[in-house]
Structure 1
Amino acid sequence: MFELGQLRCFLAVATERSFSRAAVRLNMTQPPLSRQIQLLEHQLGIRLFDRTTRSVVLTAAGRAFFIEAQDLLERAHSAAFTARKVAQGDIGTVTISFVSSAVYEFLPNVIAEGRKSHPHINIALREMTTAEQLEALRLHRTDIGIVRSPLDQQGFGCECLVREKFVLAVPREHSLATQRQVTLRDLDDQPFIIYALSSWQPFHELMAGMFRSAEVRPEFVQHIGSTLTILALVNTGMGLALVPESATKIRFDNTRFRDIELPPGVLSLLYLVWRVDNDNPAFQVMLTAIRKSVHTLPNTP
């Protein structure tokens, strides 16, 4: 099979219509150039040029091969260029999985920063629970996970990215909506919408443990797995809820958000997790971009 170097020689001769001029163009002497053309014709089993003492003219087969040879050489250059860009992490695809609450503030910043700094990297997004994300990472189905629980397992990297306080979501007509100062004790006997254990285990356990330690007993009227749904229920007057501060960006006409005094350590946390053996160059580039984007947010570590 012919080589790319032979194609370059052929295209130079075909373009210049002269072996001597083609040799100058390729910065080589004429004998090795003629030898490369002869080898190419031998390998193809056809004559590419009609040669006379005064001219070099493409044969009919040579004219057809000229078009294909140009395309092959361009594709080879493109392949090399693409391979270098992929190796540098300048192009490629990164799959980021995330918990739903990350879309309120954190994830939009990540996407904006990623597109700004690396516009040729395709970011594929997958909304999953924390448990689903960890399984997807193990199966190499995602590159980066944004989860609620830390992962301390060999072969995985993990770091806390966002720490934010909880705020109290209150129906507009509720007495706490206008109370000057709200404490945890104010939630005793109140109808309360808590995160579901099945889908939001970190938040459920955090809040349930906090209430037990403080000996505060809200009336749990619903166990829900979505912050958006929780706020929609608060908006109907069904009960109160504690939600991450970033959720205040979700607006409902009949919902008010109030600061509340909570015990130290009761925070909404987001963790970044990944496989340490991930060899996708674009993954490392996007990991850096995510860290950079987080520094623009309040309440980051």
Structure 2
Amino acid sequence: MTVQDVRAFNRFYTNVIGALDYGRHLYAPYTLTEARVLYELAHAPRTDAADLREQLSLDAGYLSRILNRFEKDGLVERGPSQTDPRRRRITLTARGREAADLLEERARESVGALLATVSPADRPRLAEAMRTIRDILSGGRAPRAAARPEDVVLREPRPGDLGWIVQRNAAVYAAEYGWDADYEALVARIVADFAQDHDPRLERVWMAELDGRPVGCVMCVRDRAPDTARLRLLLVEPEARGLRIGDRLVRAVIDFARGAGYRALVLWTNDCLTAARRIYRRHGFTLVAEKPHRSFGQDLVGQDWRLELDGRNERGEG
């Protein structure tokens, strides 16, 4: 890649962004920078000037003038920080939130119009290309501070997602627990069996998506025991943890299994997966058996968990 390649892409991208704001109404009556400040305040309501300067890479004096104008116009309020008395917390007023919501609506409409020109088959490739540029130029530290639980979408798998389940399960468990290729082989068999022969009325896969990319998954399949479903392959990407994705995926399986007429939901896990076990317990699963074993290159303790779907042991949390 050369400097000219980057400059050519920049010119192209600038034209695309300019087309989104045809007629220059997208941010009116604010400038682009003012709109960015409103966006950050709307998505991180407990912030201060120092946070904004860092997040937006703005000059302190320039940001101060913007905030003074916003305060004069009744868009923001300043008060003492709850964590640092040397700082002043900045929050949107009701009027400020209305302004931020209006800008957000305009932005969604403009981007939606742009995406309407992209075929559905090309959208995953476009999202991946955008993500690649962001990750590389941020040194692999692309910001996700604004991510909220409500930004995560649970959806059906798309072409390529089942392969993602195999690859990410193998990579995450190898990195975090040292599991070898035997685990990848197991996941591949589970996914292949589902892809080859499953009843959509009784079996299903959920993908958790954030910013247009998968960050989690889970499966619900028929168990050998009658009237029993099995929860399998619950996974949440490390960088997406803390957004209650695991809780939502498990809740989706429980609701589906109950709606499909199953009387019980079971799962097998290992005692080293403490975060997953906490989720299962929150949703009412009980530990019914455990046994030491040697698998995936490690000495483990396997555990069988069970949830009666008539509600006798479900706590309804999550």
**TM-score over 0.5 for the pair:** no
Structure of larger gyration radius: 1
TM-score between both structures, scaled by the size of structure 2: 0.23
